[in-house]
Amino acid sequence: MPKTDLKPPLILLAEDNQANIDTMSDYLESQGYHLILANNGQQAIDLVRDQRPDLIVMDIQMPGMDGLEAMRRIRDDRQFMHIPMIALTALAMPSDRQAF
């Protein structure tokens, strides 16, 4: 097999619950992904600007700036519009989903 210089995708995990961080990071790292972690929306925005991840996994309910606001601000910057984002939430009511 020829050697490639492809680096594993970088995933930003924005999550404030340690159990969720442990579960998701253990799985994603076992699959060969590199992770960076943010505990709130502002940290997520800062890491997007500094690290330019390939994918963002964003918890919606975090202290300080929530995930929805962080996602809006990231999308407002044209240079980051191409980064896929996955929103995570424990909200299960149909009325909660309208916010997305």
- pLDDT for residue 29: 95
Residue 83 has which token pair? 């980064």
Residue 74 · residue 58 · CB < 8 Å: no
Residue 67 · residue 87 · CB < 8 Å: yes
pLDDT tens for the chain, 100 residues long, are 455 668 899 999 999 999 999 999 999 999 999 999 999 999 999 999 999 999 999 999 888 999 999 999 999 999 999 999 999 887 655 655 555 5
What is the pTM assigned to this prediction?
0.84
- pLDDT for residue 84: 97
For the domain with range 10-97, which CATH number is right: 3.40.50.2300, 3.30.43.10, 3.40.50.720, 1.10.3720.10?
A: 3.40.50.2300
Residue 58 has which token pair? 């964003």
- pLDDT for residue 1: 47
Instruction: Please tell me the distance from the alpha carbon of residue 39 to that of residue 15, in angstroms, as a whole number.
Output: 5
Residue 43 has which token pair? 């940290």
